[in-house]
Amino acid sequence: QVQLVESGGGLVQAGGSLRLSCAASGRTFSSYAMGWFRQAPGKDREFVAVISWSGHMTYYSDSVKGRFTISRDNAKNTVYLQMNSLKPEDTAVYYCGAVADCTGYGCYLPLQTYDYFGQGTQVTVSS
């Protein structure tokens, strides 16, 4: 069992930065790939980024590539999402997810792949 708690959301002006954190409970955190998803009002939850259990592999959606960076610290059971050059269209609730068994970029995109999700943290970007 893995429990995930996101933090770091808030209100920021366009062009600003935020760093989200996702703290995980459980001693098996390092065996999970960790992803970030987001859900804007009236829209489906969408993939943002994922990082492998080792941290050596990362994938990003085209909409955030070059602006967001995912990283993890297995000693702290925490995954991060550094968000720079934020845009109003980045406004959403951001969720982290954990997946134990997945290979290849296509595997990480669907929500159904993930074994656990946190409750989310709100990010609002004003224009």
pLDDT tens string 100-113: 988 888 899 999 99
User: What's the whole-number mean pLDDT along residues 82-87?
Assistant: 98
- Distances in Å between the alpha carbon of 35 and those of 23, 61, 79, 99, 126? 12, 11, 9, 8, 25
Measured from the Cβ of residue 6, the count of other Cβ atoms closer than 10 Å reads 22
Contacts of 52 (CB under 8 A, 6+ apart): 33, 58
Question: Which helix (H) or strand (E) segment is 107 a member of?
Answer: helix 105-108
Q: Please give the angle made by the CA atoms of 66, 50 and 9, to the nearest 5 degrees.
A: 75
Q: What is the pLDDT of residue 58?
A: 95
Torsion angle of alpha carbons 96, 69, 19, 55, nearest 10°?
60
Structure tokens at 105: 């970029």
Label each residue of 12-24 as H, E or C. EECCCCEEEEEEE
Q: For 12-53, what is each residue's pLDDT tens digit?
A: 999 999 999 999 997 688 889 999 999 999 999 999 999 999
DSSP class of residue 41 equals: T
Q: What is the pLDDT of residue 26?
A: 79
* Secondary structure of residue 108 in the 3-state scheme: helix
Q: pLDDT category, 85, cuts 50, 70, 90?
A: very high
